Amino acid sequence: TTMASKAVAVLLLVFLQGSAFGIKLTGNGYTDILIAINPKVPEDPVLITQIEEMIKEASRHLLNATEKHLYFKEVAILVPPNWNKGNYSRAETEVYDKANIIIDEPNKLHGDQPYTLQYGECGSEGRYIHLTPDFMLNDDVSKYYGPRGKVFVHEWAHLRWGVFDEYNEEKPFYLSGSLIEATRCTIKITGKYIHKRDQKDCTTDPVTGLYTKDCVFYPDKQQTTSASIMYNQGLNAVNEFCTKETHNTEAPNIQNRLCGNRGVEEVITSLSVDAGVAVVPTPPSILPTFTVVQRWQRVVCLVLDVSGSMAAGSRMLNLRQAATLFIQKIVEDQAYVGIVQFTNTATIREPLTLIDGKVSRDKLVGRLPPSASGGTDICAGVEKGLEVNTIPIIGDVIILLTDGESSINCQIRVKDSGAIVHTITLGPNANINVKDLSDISGGKYHNAADGVDSNDLVDIFASHTISDGSLTKQTIQLESTGLNMIGWFNGSVSIDRTIGNNTSFLVIYERSPPDILVLSPFTRTYDTSHFKHDAPAKTLTLDIEGTAETGKWKYSLLNKESTAQSMSMTVTSHAVSEAISPVMVKTHMSQLSSNGSKPMLVYADVNQKGVPVILADVTATLMSDRGVKYELKLQDNGAGADAFRHDGIYSSYFTELTTGKYSLKVKVHNNDGTARFSLRRHSGALYIPGYVVDGQVVMNPPKPPVSEDDLQADVGSFSRTAIGESFSVSLPPGVPPPNFPPNKITDLNAEIEGDKVMLTWTAPGEDMDQGTAMAYEIRFSEDSDLLRSNFSTAHLVTYNLSPKTAGSPEKLSFTLFSIIKNGTTLFFAAKAEDKSFLKSETSNIIQVTKIVPKAPVPSPTDAPGGPDTSGGGVNITVIVISVTTVTMVACLIASVTMCSIKSRRVNHVTVDHNPTERLSCPGLSLQAGVFSFVFGVGFLVLGVLFLCWVNGSQLEAAECRYL
């Protein structure tokens, strides 16, 4: 029996290891790829056909680009619930929120440009690829990006391998030595530099030494190089990624900045999720297979633990309060909901009930379990939940809540059922292994702390809103806060112009109902009498009729008892209309489990239909199952944990890792109205400006502009609360908490001002982006590869600068007289060091070139009498000619004087009967003229050289260059 048990355990372990939810690499083929179509996209069978053709074409391109190693094998297409013309299979674990590729309407920022939402770290998987119906169906739109299959491979590299674009619209050119190059990879991509307005050769900016802003690099239609897809996927000859040998390490693009100047192939093989994957022989057929599925009505069974441990403290009360909120406010009409309770056995308390109004909701709330006792058998509850759900149960949902421990041996049953299981553990002693049920079924895992004031359980149930891509149907949580206190509990919540329908205020208390006062921004006052009181559940609810007023709502709760009690306030709302997309917030951790070997990152995405919302106040709260709370300020500054400035992705490192389970909650506020929409685009396919064909530029229409007026408008005051999946930390026994180095500096910048170099960057911390580092190590070289491969051997910059607190701007200026000359190119990089002498990774490598601006060629307006446009500068020509003229006149006067003196001397000594000859003095006049001319020209040359030497800023003047 023991051997049999061990064999089952081994088989189960192997099963779980191969069943992680999400994209898988099976052999050389990618499986479990999910493409979801948004409900706003009209039903069109041609769209399904186009998706399939794109993936087939992409599979061939991917196989070629990866040396016959990788291809697409199995793809599911999830169509919206409102499509009714096709014969679609019922979805199993496929849900919109888990989609890898989304087909949706264009947004204001990207239009029809294919793009990928990436959160940051090089080598980390992205969130999803975004494609539009017009890109998929309209050849006139897609041709400006290239073949759809190759465009998809470009985006797949972002999504799967965490690489970045090799072009840079903000820095399209750079200096490589004395040559101006287009930002591209490889450098072997040939083309012409042409003014986009008049199609003439580009001119150079005398200040930067680069081409002017209206210059565009048009690649030759025919190329001799095959790389790179991450630069220009539209070129016919380009069908590979850059290798270590072909990668352009100098180009100022995001790939070099975030990936340490590594090429795409190097990232794939050394940093990505597919690094080190064994290569197996490619099968004869690489055509992917497709399934088209659709989610039907939502079917949810609440499987609730009522064992003896649930009777402790306020756990049963918390359960009833959270489940009541879910039934009354969260689950949508026309869904089916059932209730199961379990101890060491399981019982159906209420079979599936159609949600079709207040009566059905009240009936379900009345059937919630009232008390707890007995043992715990988690899988008994799961089995009963599967029994409650209809036949077939494919695609149905179980929300499982437990605070206890028992063996978990129903993983295979859950996997085979096709149901999605969301698991919730309550308190510190719950079995973490229930997370396996979520992992294999595509569900979410959450851990909730005990106590009314934590509000965790309410938040978790509130997060289980509909997930079909329809933002107007989703319940949006605005506020969630609680305190244990005596007296008044005050706060505020902002209702913005994107929400306001079905707004609800929910007050939860521990023992006795508080007095309540809610003030709307303008006209209404609500007191306790306006709230509906549910005494058994200890809740009070206020539903705002119609559309809630826009602005700041204030609330006050008064605990009338003489001792402290826990109270909480939760506010939810919905989109104001179908026409206006609400501001949404999503949050997650970079990983859901950690052994402490590397820091974890907290992310929050704040956007309105894909358009980033920036300058908001974002705070993450991480609560351990032992009740320890950590608060982190999330930043969108393009430094530390944050990869891109002003992209609406707010980030921070979480470094205080100790063993346990953690919950994640993010609050976003814009109380002062400073938040704005951003023009910052996500990683995406290059819009091709045109090509050079037979020496002539064939231009494409300009990329559709983004309206800055729309995107820079004030978002208005708003409040949001978002819940992320919980995560766990398990440090090796006896190992102290990890000590992390400062984070890598990723925004190092350099400029040359005269003979000085000015460096700027954002300060890292003592532990990643937390605290204050101890010192910096700054080095430079004329060889960028030296800084990357052998940083410690480059030239060291000596300085007197104490690091500031993490997130602060740093500035350092120093002089390099003996090195900086006109045309000199230097590369700089930096490291930070903490008090334990741990050093950060080498920063991004920044390039700077000394350029002395050229003086403008004199124009007619510079002639005497014309307007003075010199700005007070020295005009060498005027000064030198003037001085030379005066000198020549002086020499001539001197010659005449000498002649006159000599004539008088001669007349005095001798007698001359020819007065004319005596007065002409011909020999001396010739000598005087020659002397004046030679002396004048010499003085002219010496004067120009002297002035060029004295006034260094004029060294590029025409006279100096001529000399």
Q: What is the pLDDT of residue 422?
A: 97
788, two tokens:
């990357």
> Which ranges in 296-373 belong to alpha helices (H)?
315-325, 358-366
Average confidence (pLDDT) over 193-212:
91
DSSP-derived secondary structure letter, 705: P
Q: How many helices (H) and strands (E) does the chain have?
A: 19, 49
> Which ranges in 450-592 belong to alpha helices (H)?
456-462
Q: Are 451 and 439 in contact (CB under 8 A)?
A: no
SS3 string, 39-69, reads: CCCCCCHHHHHHHHHHHHHHHHHHHHHCCCC
Average confidence (pLDDT) over 691-711:
84
Residue-wise pLDDT tens digits, 651-690:
999 999 999 999 999 999 998 778 888 888 899 999 999 9
Q: Considering only CA atoms, which of 429, 348, 432 is closest in space to residue 384? A: 348
Q: Considering only CA atoms, which of 318, 289, 307, 319 is closest in space to residue 373? A: 307
Average confidence (pLDDT) over 9-18:
40
Domains 455-466+475-580 and 749-850 share a fold: no
Residue-wise pLDDT tens digits, 777-786:
999 999 999 9
Class level of CATH domain 297-443: alpha beta
Residue-wise pLDDT tens digits, 735-747:
888 999 999 999 9
Question: Quick one: angle between helices 876-909 and 922-950, nearest 10?
Answer: 150
780, two tokens:
């430079």
Q: Between the CA of residue 495 and those of 419, 473, 503, 773, what are the distances in Å?
A: 36, 17, 9, 40
**Among this protein's residues, is 917 annotated catalytic?**
no
Predicted confidence (pLDDT) at residue 168 exceeds the cutoff of 50 = yes
What whole-number distance in Å separates Cα of residue 421 and Cα of residue 527? Answer: 40
What whole-number distance in Å separates Cα of residue 666 and Cα of residue 636? Answer: 14
Q: What is the pLDDT of residue 871?
A: 38
Predicted confidence (pLDDT) at residue 947 exceeds the cutoff of 90 = no
365: enclosing H helix or E strand: helix 358-366
336 - beta bridge partners? 299, 354
* Look-up of token digits 């992310």: 603
Q: Considering only CA atoms, which of 294, 366, 396 is closest in space to residue 88? A: 294
Centre a 10 Å sphere on the Cβ of residue 56 and count the other Cβ atoms it contains: 16
Tell me the torsion sign for CA atoms 204, 208, 213, 218. Answer: positive
455-466+475-580 maps to CATH 3.30.56.10 = no
Q: What is the pLDDT of residue 399?
A: 97
Q: Categorize the per-residue pLDDT at 243 as very low, low, confident or very high, splitting at 50, 70 and 90.
A: very high
Q: Categorize the per-residue pLDDT at 937 as very low, low, confident or very high, splitting at 50, 70 and 90.
A: low
Predicted confidence (pLDDT) at residue 866 exceeds the cutoff of 90 = no
Position with higher pLDDT, 799 vs 505? 505
Q: Between the CA of residue 14 and those of 8, 18, 339, 411, 606, what are the distances in Å?
A: 10, 6, 33, 12, 38
Instruction: Please return the burial class of 560, using the count of CB atoms within 10 Å of its CB with bins 0-12, 13-18 and 19+.
Output: exposed
Q: Coil, strand or helix: which one is 18? A: coil
Instruction: Please return the burial class of 248, using the count of CB atoms within 10 Å of its CB with bins 0-12, 13-18 and 19+.
Output: buried
841, two tokens:
């990774």
470, two tokens:
């329809």
Contacts 24+ apart (CB under 8 A), 888-893: 888/932, 888/933, 888/935, 888/936, 891/928, 891/931, 891/932, 891/935, 891/936, 892/928, 892/929, 892/932
287: enclosing H helix or E strand: none
Average confidence (pLDDT) over 324-335:
93
Centre a 10 Å sphere on the Cβ of residue 913 and count the other Cβ atoms it contains: 6
Residue-wise pLDDT tens digits, 481-531:
999 989 999 999 999 999 999 999 999 999 999 999 999 999 899 999 999
Q: What is the pLDDT of residue 906?
A: 36
Q: Are 499 and 573 in contact (CB under 8 A)?
A: yes
Q: Between the CA of residue 295 and those of 31, 83, 268, 417, 826, what are the distances in Å?
A: 20, 10, 35, 16, 58
Q: What percent of the chain has pLDDT over 70?
A: 85
Integer distance in angstroms from the first to the last C-alpha of the chain?
99
Q: What is the pLDDT of residue 945?
A: 52
Position with higher pLDDT, 911 vs 723? 723
What whole-number distance in Å separates Cα of residue 159 and Cα of residue 62? Answer: 14
Q: Where are the domains of the chain?
A: 15-162+272-294, 173-270, 297-443, 455-466+475-580, 583-675+716-738, 749-850
Question: CA dihedral defined by 128, 133, 139, 145, rounded to 10 degrees?
Answer: -30
887: enclosing H helix or E strand: helix 876-909
Rg over CA atoms, the chain: 37
Question: Quick one: angle between helices 148-161 and 45-65, nearest 10?
Answer: 70
Position with higher pLDDT, 283 vs 143? 143
Q: What is the pLDDT of residue 859?
A: 41
306, two tokens:
């009522």
DSSP-derived secondary structure letter, 308: G
Q: The domain 583-675+716-738 is classified under which CATH number: 2.60.40.1930, 3.40.640.10, 1.20.120.10, 3.40.50.720?
A: 2.60.40.1930
Q: Are 532 and 541 in contact (CB under 8 A)?
A: yes
- Strand 89-90 to strand 289-294: parallel, antiparallel, or no bridges (unpaired)? parallel
Predicted confidence (pLDDT) at residue 869 exceeds the cutoff of 70 = no
Peptide bond connecting 824 to the previous residue in cis, omega within 30 degrees of 0: no
DSSP-derived secondary structure letter, 742: B
| Most distant pair of Cα atoms in the chain: their distance | 152
What whole-number distance in Å separates Cα of residue 787 and Cα of residue 829? Answer: 7
What whole-number distance in Å separates Cα of residue 668 and Cα of residue 679? Answer: 20
Mean pLDDT of the chain: 86
* Dihedrals phi, psi of 935, to nearest 5 degrees: -60, -40
- Strand 696-699 to strand 33-37: parallel, antiparallel, or no bridges (unpaired)? unpaired
Residue-wise pLDDT tens digits, 14-28:
344 444 468 999 989
Predicted confidence (pLDDT) at residue 574 exceeds the cutoff of 70 = yes
- Among residues 92, 94, 125, 155, which one is catalytic? 155
Q: Considering only CA atoms, which of 839, 625, 85, 90 is closest in space to residue 395? A: 90
Q: Coil, strand or helix: which one is 670? A: coil
Average confidence (pLDDT) over 861-874:
39
Residue-wise pLDDT tens digits, 25-75:
998 999 999 999 999 999 999 999 999 999 999 999 999 999 889 999 999
Q: Are 134 and 141 in contact (CB under 8 A)?
A: yes
Predicted confidence (pLDDT) at residue 351 exceeds the cutoff of 60 = yes
* Dihedrals phi, psi of 622, to nearest 5 degrees: -115, 120
Q: What is the pLDDT of residue 169?
A: 93
Q: Are 739 and 817 in contact (CB under 8 A)?
A: no
Q: The domain 749-850 is classified under which CATH number: 2.40.40.20, 3.40.470.10, 2.60.40.10, 3.40.50.2300?
A: 2.60.40.10
Predicted confidence (pLDDT) at residue 886 exceeds the cutoff of 50 = no
Q: What is the pLDDT of residue 913?
A: 33
What whole-number distance in Å separates Cα of residue 611 and Cα of residue 26? Answer: 35
Question: CA dihedral defined by 84, 88, 89, 90, rounded to 10 degrees?
Answer: -30
DSSP-derived secondary structure letter, 221: S
Instruction: Please return the burial class of 859, using the count of CB atoms within 10 Å of its CB with bins 0-12, 13-18 and 19+.
Output: exposed
DSSP-derived secondary structure letter, 257: H
Q: Are 246 and 188 in contact (CB under 8 A)?
A: yes
